[in-house]
Amino acid sequence: MNRFVLPLAIFAALVALLAVGLTLDPRKVPSPLIGKPAPHFELPLLQEAKQTFTERDMLGKVWILNVWASWCVSCREEHPVLLELAASGAVPVYGLNYKDKREDGLAWLKGMGDPYKVSIFDFDGKVGIDYGVYGVPETYVIDKLGVVRYKCIGPLTPQIVKEKVLPLVQELSRA
């Protein structure tokens, strides 16, 4: 009888662990960046390689950094939401073109529409690593002091924008 107790207990523990894991939302992976300064970067613009952009250029403003790529299927799904958000004027949206070819990123924006004030070019993905990018798309809301306040893993949806992003942007803009 005792020789069955230990394997049965281990099996029960594994089943319980699996059951808990299946209830978790993969979009809600906690980011260690929340509440911390956005990692520093200085990258060339996608549209103009001789010009650079840094997160410090945005100090004093609430803004969104959206990580995207022309090869990303989910980015295509998210793109109309970004176009609508940018057109609303509620918050400036900046793009981080991640591990892409410059010509592919430019062609994608030309064909799909460009919601970004500026897109910066992260060819080798080093800045994406600093931001803890799991995969594209990912979106960050950054406050006036340059602190990351929100991270969305996966495509933004109209519901996420309405229920999370816009209320947070409004709150941070008043601060």
The mean pLDDT of 126-148, rounded to a whole number, is 96
Which residue in 95, 88, 72 sits closest to 158, CA to CA? 88
Query: Residue 141 in 3-state DSSP?
Result: strand
99-109 burial code (b ≥16 CB/10 A, e <16): bbeeeebbebb
Delimit the domains of the chain by residue range.
Answer: 32-174
pLDDT tens for residues 104-135? 999 999 999 999 999 999 999 999 999 999 88
Phi, psi torsion values for 118, nearest 5 degrees:
-150, 145
Specify the pLDDT at position 33.
87
In CATH terms, the fold of domain 32-174 is Glutaredoxin (3.40.30)
Which residue in 88, 54, 96 sits closest to 165, CA to CA? 88
**CB proximity list for 81: less than 8 A, separation 6 or greater:** 155, 156, 157, 158, 161
Specify the pLDDT at position 15.
64
pLDDT tens for residues 5-26? 666 666 666 665 665 555 555 5
pLDDT tens for residues 25-82? 554 556 778 999 999 999 999 999 999 999 999 999 999 999 999 999 999 999 999 9
Specify the pLDDT at position 19.
57
Specify the pLDDT at position 27.
47
